[in-house]
Structure 1
Amino acid sequence: MRAVKQGGNTIKNKTMIMSAVAILLLIFGISFSVIWFVNKSDHAVSTKETHETNARSISAENNSTQSEEDVTVENQEKRIQELLDSMSLEEKVGQLFLARVPIEGQQESIQANHLGGYILFGRDIEGESPASLKQKIASYQSVSKLPLFIASDEEGGLVTRLSGGNGLVAEPFKSPMEIYQQSGLNGIRSDIQKKSEILRSYGIQGGLFPDADVATDPEAFIYDRTLGLDAKKTSEYIKISVEELKKQKIASTLKHFPGYGDNRDSHVEIVYDNRSLDTLRQNDFLPFKAGITAGADSIMISHNIVTSIDDTVPASISKPVHDVLRNELGFQGVIMTDDMDMAGLANFISQEEAGLEALIAGNDMILSSSFQEQIPYVLQGIEQGAYSEAELNQSVYRVLKMKSDLGLLQ
């Protein structure tokens, strides 16, 4: 009987031990689960808080950046408006002239006419050393109440005022067509970087390029100055050129709106472009649109008579042409004429009248050798109501903004 009792006690003890172990395991499991759940919840909350903190930080940074940009723009606008408000009527009109440098009395002409800029041609550079040309340009700036916009045609290839074998640059810049054929858009970028560095070193802010014309006929007047390819490839070239010029703080000037195409040379004759407006929209306008989107500073207007837009006058003095550029293409920068001495305009209208007509049409800057005759005529036109002071102020504002963007107004 004792043996049976001991066995029963043993079984009973084992059962009690197993029950205790089970209870302990259950308690441990519950505790672990609670701890795991709490930790996970804490981690989730912590992660959420971290993400929210990061999001707030990024948002704050973006808002700060946006705010800084807004402040910069507001400050620039305020500075330009204050400058504009302080100017006399004569000073405002003078700002709209990108004048060909006179043979004599250059500094006097700047002061007397309050000129907005000077353009250097071959005769202004011939015989100059690097040091003397820099000094000459600096002397122009030194007598100008407002900084001048100094420009010189430096497209490359056929048009190389500065680098055209006169010892001022190691070698003439190649045409965009040749560069593109040799090394594509990377070559274009590199060329603009080198060109910009040289222009800046002389105190020149604009090279009056790139040429946005689409020409496919090798016999066409403008062909060798273009990329020589279709509108799509030309648009890519224009986009890259404008973006790089913007980085380099050199003004971009797209030319020659509405597009030269395969037409004749308006330097020597009046030219009629009889292509349809649809053709221009689907082809010639595309590189200009690409340049505008990229942030082009200025656009030069041709002297061709584009009959599908206005068959009465050259594009440079046509309001409908300028309306297309402003309203259809949305360009808000500086519109400038091509050289007013070219036969395409000079054989059509007197130089004295041409300046006023160009401003009435919607140009902001006039590229002129006859500024001394044109400025008094413009002032008279304002007095008589042919050209309003409100229009004048808009154009002067655009010119000052371009100068500000180039770092000239500090």
Structure 2
Amino acid sequence: MIEKDRFIQNKENFAIFSVVSLLLMTLLSGWIVFDKMESPAVDSGLTQKQRTINQMMEGMTIEDKIGQLFLGHIPEQEAEQIVGAYYLGGYMLESKDVEGKSLSQLKKDLASYQKASNIPLLLASNEEGGAVSQISPILKEPFASPMELYDEGGLDAVLEGAKSKVSVLKDLGISAGFFPIADVVTNPSSPIYERTLGQDAMTTSDYVREVVTLLKEENFLSTLKHFPGSSETGDAITGLVYDDRPVDELRKQDFLPFEAGIEAGTDSVMVSHIILTAVSDQPSSISPEVMAILRQELGFEGVILTDDFDKLGLSEFLDQNEAALQAIEAGADMILSSNFTSQIPYLLDQVKRGKLSEDRIEQSVERILGMKYDLGLIK
């Protein structure tokens, strides 16, 4: 009887053990399946673009990262050495880089600069057309300005001209031409009138939207400039320019083409050195308040470029090194400058002193690398 009871008890224990084991195995297998299902979901949440950028950034030093923030004017004789030594994000052509060369020689030179860089360069040239073109002097047919093209054949002619221009630039290895100009200027006495479309805000908005769309199709950088718009009264090349208009007036006119370009997916926006007195007492290129309008009010998420730091308007306001620091702190991503040989070490020193965070730098580097990825420069 006792043996029978023990047998029954053992049988019951075994049954309980089997049930518990089965439950544990079920839970465990479920957890394993769940884990296997979850892991790819986490990974698949990152695009190939983001994985590539993350991998690149993991291998970058702080020197690499700071160098990416600069689009430099570089002495031609030292271009290859400087590109490699300062880890520059981009190379900005000037007329002296083109003078006396054939297109084939220029293409060869640009390829050598690209080869000297560990991270692909953004090769850029200011190619608005008309009076502002570095390449036109060595072309059989110089690039016409948007105003000239619009007067000849309306928006269709402008788009045809832009497409033809992009073809020439891309063949040279250039990925950025710093257009379209989004400034609303209808006053012929304005210093930049002939560089613009010369039309009202709505027509200029249509122009900007169509050009940005075209450039995206052509895989060529689009750059809206010069945010927050032109005052029509001065040019920061020759000195400081103040715009005393209320912000509401800008919202109803000057901001409209920028909004159109942003909605169309522009890659970048160039911020000028104009002082918008209703918003800030600083040049826009180093103003957190102006950058906030661009980011938060207009919703721009791409790369913010500064206008050329070599312009007198900024130079007479602030030391170049400190201006570079303030531009990055304000929210700019990329600085156009010929003084990067002192600005880069200055920013590096600010990081080491704890006055500029590496996190802030990485925000910009991620946008810059993302832009280069979208242009096909980074694979």
TM-score (norm 2): 0.87
Deviation at 1:361? 1.0
What is the letter of the counterpart of residue 254 of structure 1? L
For 2:160 and 2:46, the matched residues in 1 are separated by 30
Deviations 1:293-326 (CA, angstroms, capped at 9, x unpaired): 001011001111110111x211001111001100
For 2:151 and 2:169, the matched residues in 1 are separated by 24
Q: Does 1:408 align with 2:377?
A: yes
Deviation at 1:72? 10
* Cα distance change of structure 1 residues 209 and 73 upon mapping to structure 2, 3 Å threshold: farther
Q: Does 1:277 align with 2:247?
A: yes
For 1:391 and 1:384, the matched residues in 2 are separated by 14
Q: Does 1:373 align with 2:342?
A: yes
* Cα distance change of structure 1 residues 239 and 73 upon mapping to structure 2, 3 Å threshold: farther
2:38 match: none
Match of 1:342 among 311, 315, 338: 311
Match of 1:322 among 282, 291, 301: 291
**Deviating more after overlay: 329-338 vs 176-185:** 176-185
For 1:172 and 1:232, the matched residues in 2 are separated by 28
Deviation at 1:280? 0.7
- Secondary structure of 1:367's counterpart equals strand
For 2:85 and 2:102, the matched residues in 1 are separated by 28
Deviations 1:204-225 (CA, angstroms, capped at 9, x unpaired): 0000111000011100111111
Higher relative contact order (CA 8 A, sep 6+): 2
2:39 match: none
- Secondary structure of 1:118's counterpart equals strand
For 1:249 and 1:83, the matched residues in 2 are separated by 22
- Secondary structure of 1:300's counterpart equals strand
For 1:125 and 1:89, the matched residues in 2 are separated by 33
1:139 match: 112
Larger Rg: 1
Moved over 6 A (4+): 70-73
For 2:154 and 2:370, the matched residues in 1 are separated by 33
Q: Does 1:227 align with 2:200?
A: no
Match of 2:186 among 216, 229, 236: 216
1:86 match: 59
Match of 1:199 among 169, 185, 190: 169
For 1:279 and 1:192, the matched residues in 2 are separated by 30
Deviations 1:157-186 (CA, angstroms, capped at 9, x unpaired): 1101111x32xx221111111111211111
- Secondary structure of 2:344's counterpart equals helix
Are the counterparts in 2 of residues 155 and 208 from structure 1 also a CA contact under 8 Å?
Answer: yes
For 1:71 and 1:293, the matched residues in 2 are separated by 27
1:149 match: 122
Are the counterparts in 2 of residues 337 and 367 from structure 1 also a CA contact under 8 Å?
Answer: yes
- Secondary structure of 1:124's counterpart equals helix
* Identity among equivalent pairs (%): 48
Q: Does 1:119 align with 2:88?
A: no
For 1:138 and 1:284, the matched residues in 2 are separated by 38
- Secondary structure of 1:208's counterpart equals coil
Alignment of 1:3-402 (within 5 A): 74-163=47-136, 165-166=137-138, 169-310=139-280, 312-402=281-371
What is the letter of the counterpart of residue 67 of structure 2? G
For 1:387 and 1:326, the matched residues in 2 are separated by 20
What is the letter of the counterpart of residue 377 of structure 2? L
> CA RMSD of the aligned region, Å?
1.3
Deviations 1:235-284 (CA, angstroms, capped at 9, x unpaired): 00000000001111110010000001312011011111111100111100
- Secondary structure of 2:77's counterpart equals coil
Deviations 1:338-374 (CA, angstroms, capped at 9, x unpaired): 1101011001111121111111111100000000000
For 1:296 and 1:78, the matched residues in 2 are separated by 23
- Secondary structure of 1:299's counterpart equals strand
Are the counterparts in 2 of residues 325 and 331 from structure 1 also a CA contact under 8 Å?
Answer: yes
For 2:45 and 2:234, the matched residues in 1 are separated by 45
For 1:383 and 1:325, the matched residues in 2 are separated by 30
Where does structure 1 lack aligned partners over 5 or more consecutive residues? 1-69
Are the counterparts in 2 of residues 92 and 392 from structure 1 also a CA contact under 8 Å?
Answer: yes
- Secondary structure of 1:402's counterpart equals helix
What is the letter of the counterpart of residue 280 of structure 1? L
What is the letter of the counterpart of residue 53 of structure 2? I
For 1:320 and 1:207, the matched residues in 2 are separated by 27
For 1:225 and 1:409, the matched residues in 2 are separated by 32
What is the letter of the counterpart of residue 156 of structure 2? N
- Secondary structure of 1:104's counterpart equals helix
For 1:258 and 1:240, the matched residues in 2 are separated by 20
Are the counterparts in 2 of residues 180 and 188 from structure 1 also a CA contact under 8 Å?
Answer: yes
For 1:259 and 1:92, the matched residues in 2 are separated by 30
Q: What number of residue pairs does the alignment pair up?
A: 337
- Secondary structure of 1:105's counterpart equals helix
Where does structure 2 lack aligned partners over 5 or more consecutive residues? 1-42
For 1:320 and 1:81, the matched residues in 2 are separated by 30
